[in-house]
Structure 1
Amino acid sequence: MSFHYKIATSEREFEQIHRLNYQTFVEEIPQHSINEEEQLIDRFHHDNTYIICIHKNEVIGMIAVRDKRPFSLDEKIPNLNTYLPKEASNICEIRLLTIVPKYRNGRVLVGLIKCLYRYIKHHYDMAVISGITKEVELYKQMGFVPFASVVGTEAASYQPMYLTAESFKQSAGGRLLTKDISFLPGPVEMEDAVQAALHTTPISHRSTTFMHKVQKVKQTLASMTHTTHVQIMQGSGTLANDAVAMQLTLLSGRGMILSNGEFGKRLQEHATRAGLQFDVIEAPFGEPYCYESIKQAVHEHSYSWLWFVHCETSTGILNDLETLTALCKEQSIHLCADCISTLGAIPLNLKDVYLATGVSGKAIGSYTGLAFVFYNHTILPNKTIPRYLDVGMYESYESVPYTHSSVLVEALTAALRKYETPDIFTCIQERYDIIRTELENMGVHILASKKHASPVIMTLVLDERYSSKEIGDYMTLQGYIVHYHNPYLLESNWIQIATIGELHQRDIKNMLKAFRVALSFADKPKEGTNSIYTVSL
């Protein structure tokens, strides 16, 4: 049997939900009055998110999630929060769990609970429910913890219960749930050795042992990028780019920023906040730069520096580092590159780049929290720059002028071991080719043309038949995390799939299979069509 789980979105689904609600809570459990329509519209219907099970185009099971207080349990239990674990701050209520009787063999329930848990995990830290008393033991197996006294009536009595990440993890249901597979540009799926390194015993950032580890990491990063120097900062890529902006304030003259996506626009903000004077050459989102226009501009103006994003993560475009390097070298322009999404994903040669940035938490596959600035000249401390942004301070203190996290460096060390051979770059490209080919065979348009595409991430452009949010929500329920929540992605009806991290062939195959099903669900039916889905596997 084929059971599919999704969030209800269509009128046809809601009509079936109302009928199933009636069959359960009017005919089976005498909680509400009989009506001629044989439909029961929940009083919180417009606040509910319904997770449903579909079989042969019919809703055969459902569960509702609602996060607006007061909950129905608030009405039955005064001071509800006093019964709940104190660490809970973002709570939802689970209601209306029901399954068509002939499918109550456990499989559908387990599927609903798995999807429910995945949904809650990404939105809340706890859920409460009124579990029908005769099924309390079954609820316990799914990780629900009873609290307070039974509520309701003799004919319809319920046990208040709550669900947390820990209680679900320790339950029979939790042990059946496979871990989510991330196709995000960050954080990525990590190797076991990287995760284990984070749990090593912290050591002092002033110790000789720690300094030795930092120097080894710096040597590896410099070798990977063909640079002379690299400094490791504790922070994000935003910190590294701010540090670059502050170095550019020390140069005389005007600069140029290239932009063809969201992160090119962010470079403009970095530069503006630093008080830099600059011009901008823009290309449409998803289009490569016009290199002839750039060449003409640098010949007509005496630019001191040029700053660009190597991989424009917002679109999947890989901008031409080699062309810009040659042009800037010819014109004696200081070239700066945001390599945050290409470091560790493709071979990099930054020997003629003035300043470049990277991070630990993307393609390298370690934990977020370390930022890198690469360069090939000597940088001295400068008292006009805030201490934390002064690259010269890091150079003077061998990257450790301030407190550092030894466990983050330990995890980074473990992640960098995979670069002892160059096979990783081939693997990333192969994953990209497989995923892109299969998606295009499904009729999905990829924003960046193959000629200008980064192998790190692809942007899927959906037409008006589909909703990026519905597809993204569906993929999340199945345990495949794609990138779709950012405002610019939702506004454009785009989804992004990254190809970095510890991804196995079976993960890719199953993700693509789920995506094909997601398309069939999100495809808006034509007027007059009775069936709501056509699922082809």
Structure 2
Amino acid sequence: MTGELLFTPGPVMMHERVLRAMAGQVISHRSEEFRRLLDEVRELLARVYGGGEPLVLTGSGTLAVESMAWSLVEPGERVLVVSHGEFGERLVDTLRRRGALVETVEAERPGVHVPAEKVIEKLDEAGYAAVAMVYTETSLGLSYRDAERVAKAAKDRGALVLVDAVSALAGERVPALGIVDAVASAAQKAVAGPPGVSFIAVSGNALEKMRRLRVRPPNYLDLWKVYSFHSERRETPYTPAVNLLYGLREALTLIVERGVDAWIEAHRERAEILYSKLPGYGLEPVVEPGYRANTVAAFYTPVPSGTLASELARRGIRVARGMGQLRDRVVRIATMGWLPHGAFEKLFEALSEALAQPSS
């Protein structure tokens, strides 16, 4: 591979097989060839998700999350959101735009998790139609590993459970469909596919809720319409990004060939390299042990994060700065994608040089 090494939390570096898969001539999205392609993508997604009914969209992870929220929550319904950072706040905003009555349980400070007991106490205070959470908070590199316990408590109380797993699916062990009701994700993260395709896997309970919505979402966000086209016609309601689906199929095939569990473990091993090595360069993890994500690691920097990111970019290494109030204090380094051999050694070498610069 040539060019920059992408350690960004999406898009990520893709396998050559994925790049080649997208290079063919476009086909009609109303053809039998396309129907077979969509069938295969959905079957592969079900294997990566571990079940559920996968629904495929043309758009980023934000489209998947907003479609999930607007298709599973009615205006006026009470929703509880567990929030750890910027993307938790976006989930709150999306649900409020839908007209939901949103309450939140937030972390006490960046990098610490919301205790499951605190969420369960909140669940016992009132009835909620849904509980929503981000499994891996991309802005911090925090994975909410209490999610399954919270989901079971919410289900026991009659609530649907919605999960933003955009930076988690295929890199973390996300709670299975049945334990939760909807899981939104996207191709350009741990799946290591092309940006511009996203997907949601839903449970039977979620399908029933979508079917009987009184106030339907906008057409492009309507997952019931997507499901109806998928199940009845093996098509999409609108023109999809056909060649991106060829790339997604190949990316999913690569994961299945390797083994989903092995692919997840590879992300965990890469993350452990970062968490163990980077403190030696003066970079300290933002997130408490036990909740540090496999897919993206966030570190407080000894110099302004913009300075460090710029110095690394000059050396062909692309990382991301922090978000929100941590923008100038944190860098985020992802472990996702088909990084070439020696990528981490090049990262560490570039860090040593960047931190030695007088401008730092």
How does the TM-score come out when normalised to structure 2? 0.91
The answer to whether the 8 Å contact 2:7/2:333 transfers is yes
Aligned mates of 2:212, 2:123 — CA distance in 1:
30
Amino acid at match of 1:208: E
* CA distance 1:442–1:192, change in 2 (3 Å): same
For structure 1, list consecutive stretches of 5 or more residues without a partner in the other structure. 1-176, 525-537
Q: CA deviation at 1:351?
A: 2.8
Residues 13, 339 of structure 2: 8 Å contact kept: yes
Change in CA separation of 1:381 and 1:240 when aligned onto 2, cut-off 3 Å: farther
1:364 to 185, 191, 201: 191
Change (3 A) 1:285 1:487: closer
Q: Which runs of structure 2 are paired with 1:22-421 in the superposition (5 Å)? A: 178-250=2-74, 253-283=77-107, 284-319=109-144, 320-348=146-174, 349-377=176-204, 378=207, 379-380=210-211, 384-398=216-230, 400-420=236-256, 421=259
Check conservation: 1:224, 1:347, Cα contact below 8 A. no
451 and 353 in structure 1: CA distance in 2 versus 1, 3 angstrom threshold: same
Rounded to whole Å, the distance in 2 between the matches of 1:485 and 1:453 is: 15
Letter matched to residue 324 of structure 1: V
SS in 2 for 1:451: coil
Change (3 A) 1:222 1:381: farther
CA positional deviation for 1:520? 2.2
Give the structure 2 partner of residue 527 of structure 1. Answer: none
Q: Give CA deviations for 1:350-369 in whole Å, capped at 9, x if unaligned.
A: 33212220111111111111
- 1:479 counterpart residue number: 316
8 Å contact kept, 2:130–2:162 = yes
2-structure distance, mates of 1:285, 1:460: 12
Is 2:321–2:331's contact at 8 Å kept on the other side of the alignment? yes
Residues 327-382 of structure 1, C-alpha deviation per residue, up to 9 Å, x if partnerless?
11222221100000011212332332122201111111111111112111234386
* Cα deviation, residue 179, structure 1: 1.2
Decide whether the 8 Å contact of 2:274 with 2:297 is kept in 1.
no
Inter-CA distance 297–487: structure 2 relative to 1 (3 Å threshold): closer
**Could you tell me how far 1:317 is from its partner in structure 2?**
0.7
Displacement of 1:486: 5.2
Change (3 A) 1:485 1:522: farther
For 2:211, the aligned partner's letter is L
Partner of 1:139 in structure 2?
Answer: none
Deviation of 1:487 (Å): 5.6
SS at match of 2:100: coil
Indicate the larger mover: 256-265 or 282-291: 282-291
Task: Provide Cα deviations, 1:463-487, integer angstroms capped at 9, x if missing partner.
Answer: 4xx1211111110010010002756
1:429 to 224, 247, 268: 268
Of residues 492, 495, 509, the one that matches 2:345 is: 509
Task: Specify the code of the residue in structure 2 equivalent to 1:317.
Answer: L
Fraction of identical pairs, as percent: 26
What is the number of residues matched between the two proteins? 345
State the distance in 1 between where 2:25 and 2:90 align. Answer: 37
Aligned counterparts of 2:335 and 2:195: Cα–Cα separation in 1: 17
Q: In 2, Cα distance between the equivalents of 1:178 and 1:372?
A: 30
SS at structure 1 position matched to 2:63: helix
Higher relative contact order (CA closer than 8 Å, sequence separation 6+): 2
In our comparison, the structure showing a higher alpha carbon Rg is: 1
Q: Which amino acid aligns with 1:366?
A: G
Q: Read off the aligned partner of 2:63 and give its amino acid letter.
A: L
Q: Deviations over 1:83-111 (max 9, x none)?
A: xxxxxxxxxxxxxxxxxxxxxxxxxxxxx
**8 A contact 2:139–2:323 mirrored in 1:** no
Aligned equivalent of 2:278: 439
CA contact (8 A) 1:380 1:396 kept: no
> Residues 189-241 of structure 1, C-alpha deviation per residue, up to 9 Å, x if partnerless?
11001111111111001111111111111111122213321110111111112
Amino acid at match of 1:393: K
- Verify the 8 A CA contact 2:315 2:350 in the aligned structure 1: yes
AA paired with 2:294?
A: P
Deviation at 1:488, TM superposition (A): 4.7
> Residues 489-537 of structure 1: CA distance to partner in whole angstroms, max 9, x if unpaired?
434x11110000011341111111111221222686xxxxxxxxxxxxx
Q: Is the 8 A contact 2:81 2:105 kept in 1?
A: yes
TM-score, scaled to structure 1: 0.62
Distance in 1 between residues matched to 2:358 and 2:170, nearest whole Å: 35
User: 1 CA distance for matches of 2:112 and 2:18?
Assistant: 36
SS at match of 1:371: strand
Unaligned ranges ≥5, structure 2: none
